[in-house]
Amino acid sequence: MKHTEGRVAVITGAASGFGLEAARIAARRGMKVVMADVQPDALELSAHDVGAIGAEVMPYRLDVSRAQELDALAAAVRDRFGAPHFVFNNAGVGAGGLLWEHTAKDWDWVFGVNLLGVAHGVRAFTPMMLAAAEADPSYVGHLVNTASMAGLLAPPNMGVYNASKAAVVSLTETLYHDLSLVTDRVRAHLLCPYFVPTAIHLSERNRPAELREAGAGPTRSQMIAAAMSEKAVTSGRVSAAQVAQLVFDAMAEDRFYVYSHPQALAGVRTRMEDQVLPRNPTDPFAERPEIGQRLRRQLRGEA
Protein backbone atom coordinates (compact mmCIF):
# COMPACT_ATOMS: atom_id res chain seq x y z
CA MET A 1 0.00 0.00 0.00
CA LYS A 2 1.87 3.04 -1.28
CA HIS A 3 -0.90 5.63 -0.97
CA THR A 4 -2.70 5.78 2.37
CA GLU A 5 -4.02 9.32 2.88
CA GLY A 6 -7.79 9.23 3.37
CA ARG A 7 -8.02 5.47 2.98
CA VAL A 8 -9.66 3.09 5.44
CA ALA A 9 -8.05 0.53 7.75
CA VAL A 10 -10.02 -2.12 9.67
CA ILE A 11 -8.04 -3.82 12.44
CA THR A 12 -9.16 -6.57 14.82
CA GLY A 13 -7.28 -7.15 18.04
CA ALA A 14 -6.66 -3.41 17.87
CA ALA A 15 -6.46 -2.64 21.60
CA SER A 16 -2.96 -4.08 22.05
CA GLY A 17 0.05 -5.63 20.36
CA PHE A 18 0.34 -5.69 16.59
CA GLY A 19 -3.18 -4.34 16.14
CA LEU A 20 -2.61 -1.22 18.21
CA GLU A 21 0.75 -0.51 16.59
CA ALA A 22 -0.74 -0.98 13.12
CA ALA A 23 -3.52 1.45 14.07
CA ARG A 24 -0.91 4.01 15.12
CA ILE A 25 0.95 3.68 11.83
CA ALA A 26 -2.28 3.94 9.87
CA ALA A 27 -3.23 7.08 11.80
CA ARG A 28 0.15 8.69 11.18
CA ARG A 29 -0.29 7.96 7.48
CA GLY A 30 -3.60 9.75 7.33
CA MET A 31 -5.89 6.74 7.24
CA LYS A 32 -9.33 6.44 8.81
CA VAL A 33 -9.00 3.71 11.40
CA VAL A 34 -11.60 1.18 12.52
CA MET A 35 -10.36 -0.40 15.74
CA ALA A 36 -12.15 -3.59 16.80
CA ASP A 37 -11.44 -5.56 19.95
CA VAL A 38 -13.15 -7.72 22.58
CA GLN A 39 -11.82 -5.66 25.52
CA PRO A 40 -14.06 -2.58 25.92
CA ASP A 41 -11.92 -0.67 28.42
CA ALA A 42 -8.64 -1.28 26.60
CA LEU A 43 -10.34 -0.45 23.30
CA GLU A 44 -11.58 2.89 24.60
CA LEU A 45 -8.10 3.85 25.82
CA SER A 46 -6.41 2.69 22.63
CA ALA A 47 -8.90 4.47 20.39
CA HIS A 48 -8.32 7.68 22.35
CA ASP A 49 -4.57 7.22 21.93
CA VAL A 50 -4.84 6.71 18.17
CA GLY A 51 -7.34 9.54 17.81
CA ALA A 52 -4.87 11.88 19.50
CA ILE A 53 -2.55 11.33 16.54
CA GLY A 54 -5.15 13.10 14.45
CA ALA A 55 -6.96 10.23 12.79
CA GLU A 56 -10.67 9.67 12.48
CA VAL A 57 -11.19 6.59 14.64
CA MET A 58 -14.16 4.26 14.85
CA PRO A 59 -13.89 1.96 17.90
CA TYR A 60 -15.98 -1.19 17.71
CA ARG A 61 -16.34 -3.83 20.40
CA LEU A 62 -16.81 -7.38 19.08
CA ASP A 63 -15.94 -11.04 19.52
CA VAL A 64 -14.42 -12.13 16.19
CA SER A 65 -15.43 -15.75 16.77
CA ARG A 66 -19.09 -14.76 16.31
CA ALA A 67 -20.00 -14.53 12.64
CA GLN A 68 -22.90 -12.15 13.17
CA GLU A 69 -20.66 -9.67 15.00
CA LEU A 70 -18.17 -9.59 12.12
CA ASP A 71 -21.06 -9.13 9.70
CA ALA A 72 -22.31 -6.21 11.79
CA LEU A 73 -18.83 -4.67 11.82
CA ALA A 74 -18.59 -4.93 8.03
CA ALA A 75 -21.98 -3.28 7.64
CA ALA A 76 -21.01 -0.47 10.02
CA VAL A 77 -17.75 0.15 8.12
CA ARG A 78 -19.53 0.19 4.78
CA ASP A 79 -22.15 2.64 6.05
CA ARG A 80 -19.61 5.05 7.53
CA PHE A 81 -16.58 4.81 5.25
CA GLY A 82 -17.35 2.52 2.33
CA ALA A 83 -15.08 -0.36 1.42
CA PRO A 84 -11.85 -0.59 3.45
CA HIS A 85 -8.44 -0.61 1.81
CA PHE A 86 -6.61 -2.50 4.57
CA VAL A 87 -8.21 -5.29 6.60
CA PHE A 88 -5.99 -6.72 9.32
CA ASN A 89 -7.52 -9.95 10.67
CA ASN A 90 -5.24 -9.94 13.67
CA ALA A 91 -7.17 -10.91 16.81
CA GLY A 92 -5.76 -14.02 18.45
CA VAL A 93 -5.40 -15.95 21.69
CA GLY A 94 -2.71 -18.27 23.02
CA ALA A 95 -2.99 -21.69 24.66
CA GLY A 96 -0.49 -24.35 25.62
CA GLY A 97 -0.33 -27.85 27.05
CA LEU A 98 -0.41 -31.45 25.90
CA LEU A 99 -2.98 -32.04 23.17
CA TRP A 100 -5.08 -34.62 25.01
CA GLU A 101 -5.40 -32.46 28.11
CA HIS A 102 -7.41 -29.75 26.38
CA THR A 103 -11.16 -29.70 26.83
CA ALA A 104 -13.68 -29.31 24.03
CA LYS A 105 -14.21 -25.75 25.25
CA ASP A 106 -10.49 -25.04 24.85
CA TRP A 107 -10.68 -26.12 21.22
CA ASP A 108 -13.82 -24.08 20.64
CA TRP A 109 -12.26 -20.94 22.12
CA VAL A 110 -8.87 -21.09 20.40
CA PHE A 111 -10.20 -22.10 16.99
CA GLY A 112 -13.12 -19.69 17.31
CA VAL A 113 -10.82 -16.69 17.71
CA ASN A 114 -7.67 -17.70 15.83
CA LEU A 115 -9.21 -19.42 12.81
CA LEU A 116 -12.89 -18.50 12.55
CA GLY A 117 -12.08 -14.89 13.44
CA VAL A 118 -9.90 -14.74 10.34
CA ALA A 119 -12.38 -16.68 8.22
CA HIS A 120 -15.25 -14.38 9.22
CA GLY A 121 -13.14 -11.32 8.42
CA VAL A 122 -12.28 -12.69 4.98
CA ARG A 123 -15.87 -13.64 4.30
CA ALA A 124 -17.32 -10.31 5.47
CA PHE A 125 -14.89 -7.90 3.82
CA THR A 126 -13.54 -9.53 0.64
CA PRO A 127 -16.75 -9.16 -1.43
CA MET A 128 -16.94 -5.50 -0.45
CA MET A 129 -13.33 -4.95 -1.51
CA LEU A 130 -13.79 -6.81 -4.79
CA ALA A 131 -16.84 -4.69 -5.61
CA ALA A 132 -14.84 -1.53 -4.87
CA ALA A 133 -12.03 -2.69 -7.16
CA GLU A 134 -14.51 -3.35 -9.96
CA ALA A 135 -16.19 0.03 -9.54
CA ASP A 136 -13.04 2.15 -9.11
CA PRO A 137 -9.93 1.55 -11.27
CA SER A 138 -7.78 3.33 -8.68
CA TYR A 139 -8.86 1.11 -5.77
CA VAL A 140 -6.27 -1.20 -4.21
CA GLY A 141 -7.05 -3.40 -1.20
CA HIS A 142 -5.03 -5.59 1.14
CA LEU A 143 -6.11 -8.37 3.51
CA VAL A 144 -3.50 -9.30 6.12
CA ASN A 145 -4.08 -12.36 8.31
CA THR A 146 -2.08 -13.02 11.47
CA ALA A 147 -0.87 -16.60 11.83
CA SER A 148 2.33 -17.53 13.71
CA MET A 149 5.65 -19.28 13.25
CA ALA A 150 3.99 -21.92 15.43
CA GLY A 151 1.78 -22.74 12.47
CA LEU A 152 4.88 -23.49 10.41
CA LEU A 153 6.98 -25.21 13.07
CA ALA A 154 4.46 -27.26 15.16
CA PRO A 155 6.47 -27.07 18.43
CA PRO A 156 5.52 -29.46 21.25
CA ASN A 157 3.21 -28.75 24.18
CA MET A 158 1.15 -26.14 22.31
CA GLY A 159 -0.76 -28.21 19.78
CA VAL A 160 -4.15 -26.49 19.90
CA TYR A 161 -2.54 -23.13 19.16
CA ASN A 162 -0.29 -24.66 16.47
CA ALA A 163 -3.22 -26.27 14.69
CA SER A 164 -5.26 -23.07 14.68
CA LYS A 165 -2.38 -21.08 13.23
CA ALA A 166 -1.48 -23.77 10.67
CA ALA A 167 -5.05 -23.50 9.45
CA VAL A 168 -4.64 -19.73 9.06
CA VAL A 169 -1.50 -20.33 6.98
CA SER A 170 -3.41 -22.65 4.65
CA LEU A 171 -6.44 -20.37 4.51
CA THR A 172 -4.34 -17.32 3.61
CA GLU A 173 -2.21 -19.05 1.00
CA THR A 174 -5.43 -20.26 -0.63
CA LEU A 175 -6.90 -16.75 -0.38
CA TYR A 176 -3.85 -15.42 -2.23
CA HIS A 177 -4.43 -17.87 -5.09
CA ASP A 178 -8.19 -17.35 -5.14
CA LEU A 179 -7.85 -13.58 -5.33
CA SER A 180 -5.30 -13.87 -8.14
CA LEU A 181 -7.92 -15.70 -10.21
CA VAL A 182 -10.36 -12.79 -10.12
CA THR A 183 -8.43 -9.55 -9.58
CA ASP A 184 -5.02 -7.89 -9.49
CA ARG A 185 -6.06 -5.15 -7.07
CA VAL A 186 -7.05 -6.98 -3.90
CA ARG A 187 -4.09 -8.76 -2.36
CA ALA A 188 -3.55 -11.17 0.53
CA HIS A 189 -0.64 -11.25 3.00
CA LEU A 190 0.34 -13.63 5.80
CA LEU A 191 1.95 -12.44 9.03
CA CYS A 192 3.90 -15.12 10.91
CA PRO A 193 5.41 -13.57 14.05
CA TYR A 194 7.65 -15.44 16.46
CA PHE A 195 8.19 -14.38 20.09
CA VAL A 196 7.31 -10.68 20.31
CA PRO A 197 6.39 -8.77 23.50
CA THR A 198 2.60 -8.57 23.28
CA ALA A 199 -0.16 -9.55 25.69
CA ILE A 200 -0.91 -12.90 24.03
CA HIS A 201 0.37 -14.84 27.06
CA LEU A 202 -2.46 -13.14 29.01
CA SER A 203 -5.18 -14.31 26.60
CA GLU A 204 -7.08 -16.23 29.25
CA ARG A 205 -8.43 -12.96 30.64
CA ASN A 206 -10.63 -12.64 27.55
CA ARG A 207 -12.08 -16.14 27.45
CA PRO A 208 -15.90 -15.98 27.49
CA ALA A 209 -17.53 -17.36 30.63
CA GLU A 210 -19.45 -19.99 28.66
CA LEU A 211 -16.16 -21.43 27.35
CA ARG A 212 -14.58 -21.86 30.79
CA GLU A 213 -14.63 -25.17 32.63
CA ALA A 214 -16.21 -24.64 36.05
CA GLY A 215 -13.83 -25.65 38.82
CA ALA A 216 -11.19 -26.94 36.42
CA GLY A 217 -7.65 -25.70 37.02
CA PRO A 218 -4.75 -25.88 34.57
CA THR A 219 -2.89 -29.15 34.22
CA ARG A 220 0.84 -29.49 34.84
CA SER A 221 1.59 -29.28 31.11
CA GLN A 222 -0.57 -26.19 30.73
CA MET A 223 1.15 -24.43 33.63
CA ILE A 224 4.55 -25.30 32.17
CA ALA A 225 3.50 -24.03 28.75
CA ALA A 226 2.17 -20.79 30.25
CA ALA A 227 5.43 -20.14 32.09
CA MET A 228 7.54 -20.87 29.01
CA SER A 229 5.32 -18.69 26.84
CA GLU A 230 5.47 -15.77 29.25
CA LYS A 231 9.25 -15.95 29.44
CA ALA A 232 9.67 -16.22 25.67
CA VAL A 233 7.17 -13.48 24.81
CA THR A 234 8.27 -10.94 27.39
CA SER A 235 11.96 -11.38 26.54
CA GLY A 236 11.45 -10.90 22.80
CA ARG A 237 13.74 -8.30 21.25
CA VAL A 238 11.61 -7.45 18.22
CA SER A 239 8.85 -5.03 19.21
CA ALA A 240 5.20 -5.08 18.20
CA ALA A 241 5.76 -1.69 16.54
CA GLN A 242 8.53 -3.16 14.38
CA VAL A 243 6.27 -6.04 13.33
CA ALA A 244 3.45 -3.63 12.44
CA GLN A 245 5.88 -1.68 10.27
CA LEU A 246 6.85 -4.91 8.51
CA VAL A 247 3.18 -5.40 7.63
CA PHE A 248 3.00 -1.98 5.96
CA ASP A 249 6.30 -2.64 4.16
CA ALA A 250 4.96 -5.94 2.83
CA MET A 251 1.83 -4.27 1.48
CA ALA A 252 3.91 -1.59 -0.25
CA GLU A 253 6.17 -4.25 -1.78
CA ASP A 254 3.33 -6.67 -2.60
CA ARG A 255 5.11 -9.32 -0.51
CA PHE A 256 2.96 -12.19 0.77
CA TYR A 257 4.98 -13.67 3.64
CA VAL A 258 5.79 -11.40 6.58
CA TYR A 259 8.25 -12.78 9.15
CA SER A 260 9.32 -11.07 12.35
CA HIS A 261 12.25 -13.48 12.83
CA PRO A 262 13.54 -14.79 9.46
CA GLN A 263 16.19 -16.83 11.28
CA ALA A 264 13.41 -19.13 12.51
CA LEU A 265 12.87 -20.29 8.94
CA ALA A 266 15.73 -22.76 9.36
CA GLY A 267 13.37 -24.83 11.49
CA VAL A 268 10.67 -24.54 8.84
CA ARG A 269 13.10 -25.83 6.23
CA THR A 270 13.98 -28.81 8.41
CA ARG A 271 10.31 -29.62 8.90
CA MET A 272 9.68 -29.42 5.14
CA GLU A 273 12.62 -31.75 4.53
CA ASP A 274 11.17 -34.19 7.07
CA GLN A 275 7.96 -34.27 5.06
CA VAL A 276 9.53 -34.51 1.62
CA LEU A 277 12.25 -37.13 2.25
CA PRO A 278 10.21 -38.50 4.20
CA ARG A 279 11.64 -39.01 7.66
CA ASN A 280 10.32 -38.86 11.19
CA PRO A 281 9.92 -35.35 12.63
CA THR A 282 13.23 -33.88 13.75
CA ASP A 283 13.64 -33.20 17.45
CA PRO A 284 12.69 -29.51 17.84
CA PHE A 285 15.32 -29.22 20.59
CA ALA A 286 18.16 -30.74 18.56
CA GLU A 287 20.18 -27.52 18.77
CA ARG A 288 19.20 -26.80 22.39
CA PRO A 289 18.98 -30.28 23.97
CA GLU A 290 19.07 -28.89 27.52
CA ILE A 291 15.69 -27.23 26.94
CA GLY A 292 14.15 -30.46 25.69
CA GLN A 293 15.59 -32.41 28.61
CA ARG A 294 14.24 -29.87 31.09
CA LEU A 295 10.77 -29.95 29.51
CA ARG A 296 10.68 -33.76 29.59
CA ARG A 297 11.66 -33.80 33.26
CA GLN A 298 9.02 -31.24 34.10
CA LEU A 299 6.26 -33.04 32.24
CA ARG A 300 7.21 -36.35 33.86
CA GLY A 301 7.24 -34.80 37.32
CA GLU A 302 10.98 -35.28 37.75
CA ALA A 303 11.73 -31.58 38.32
Catalytic residue among 60, 139, 161, 259: 161
- 145: which strand partners? 89, 190
Residues with Cβ within 8 Å of residue 167, at least 6 apart in sequence: 111, 114, 115, 151
Nearest-angstrom CA–CA distance, 117 and 78: 19
Nearest-angstrom CA–CA distance, 141 and 8: 10
Three-state DSSP class for residue 33:
strand
Nearest-angstrom CA–CA distance, 297 and 140: 53
- 142: which strand partners? 86, 187
Nearest-angstrom CA–CA distance, 195 and 216: 28
Nearest-angstrom CA–CA distance, 260 and 149: 9
Nearest-angstrom CA–CA distance, 182 and 190: 19
Residues with Cβ within 8 Å of residue 207, at least 6 apart in sequence: 93, 109
| Dihedral pair phi/psi, residue 218, rounded to 5° | -70, 150
Strand order across the 186-192 sheet: 57-61, 32-37, 8-12, 86-89, 141-146, 186-192, 257-259
Q: Is there a catalytic annotation at residue 194? A: no
Nearest-angstrom CA–CA distance, 81 and 73: 12
Nearest-angstrom CA–CA distance, 290 and 82: 54
Query: Would you please indicate which residues are annotated as catalytic (active-site) residues?
Result: 161
